[in-house]
Amino acid sequence: MFENNEEVEKLLKKIDEDIKNELSEKRYNHSVGVMKKAEELAKIHDVDINKARLVGLAHDIGKELSSDDKLKYCSEHGLFVDDVERQNTGLLHTKIGADICKRKYGFTQDMQNAIKYHATGNENMDKLAKVLFIADKIEDGRQYDDEEHLKRLQEGRKLAKENLDKALLYEIDASLVYTIKKGKLIHMDSILTRNKIISHFSLYFS
């Protein structure tokens, strides 16, 4: 299905209509921006372009459910909620989004995983998942007025074109700093992802 460009365009149109109705204008525009950036990175890093566009557009489809509705969805559809997610229900939009896309749009397992991993990372991320994680952080709609954040954004965009793993590590580190400053719990998946990149690619990065 995802090799047929005509079918992919129809599905993109359907997803676009759905998220335009279900998400705020700001979140919708972000989703379109992530789709475009994911396509750009997919071309650079030899990732399936159609899958990258689809997961980019759909990745936040469950983002704006209320906390109660997120917990209710997980309960009704048998999605496991860990202790960190129960205290920070915003994280649940990833596994909810993956489940919606499986049921509603027939997304393959690798596409579901990319959506599931795009907030915390995962030590088993493939290149499609890395592309989505990074595109979410650096899409062109993200702009900052202060010099520190703007510099970080520019560096992330630079690394994304050069090396997915370096860019992923950079963005995970930035996310961890943000989470610590906010006084929130850190999900273990972020730690495991960071440690795997460093341990597996230390020689490559040196």
Q: How many domains does the chain have?
A: 1
How far, in Å, CA of 185 to CA of 182, rounded? 9
Task: Give, in order, the Cα–Cα distances in Å from 55 to each of 59, 116, 134, 174.
Answer: 5, 10, 12, 23
Task: Read off the pLDDT of residues 131-178 as tens digits, 9 standing for 90 and up.
Answer: 999 999 999 998 877 788 888 899 999 999 999 999 999 999 999 998
Task: Read off the pLDDT of residues 108-126 as tens digits, 9 standing for 90 and up.
Answer: 999 999 999 999 999 999 9
Q: Tokens representing 194?
A: 């960071």
Place of tokens 């499986």: 102
Which range of residues forms the domain containing residue 125?
Answer: 5-205
Q: Tokens representing 30?
A: 């972000």
Mean pLDDT value across the chain: 94
Task: Give, in order, the Cα–Cα distances in Å from 157 to each of 110, 128, 135, 168.
Answer: 24, 17, 9, 11
* Gyration radius from the chain CA atoms: 16
pLDDT surpassing 60 at residue 20: yes
How far, in Å, CA of 105 to CA of 89, rounded? 24
- Indicate the SS3 state at residue 110: helix
Q: Tokens representing 31?
A: 């989703």
**pTM for this entry:** 0.95
Using pLDDT thresholds of 50, 70 and 90, give the confidence band for residue 203.
very low
pLDDT surpassing 80 at residue 1: no
Q: Tokens representing 113?
A: 């995983």
Q: Please tell me which residue, 32 or 204, carries the higher pLDDT value.
A: 32
CATH of the domain at 96: 1.10.3210.10
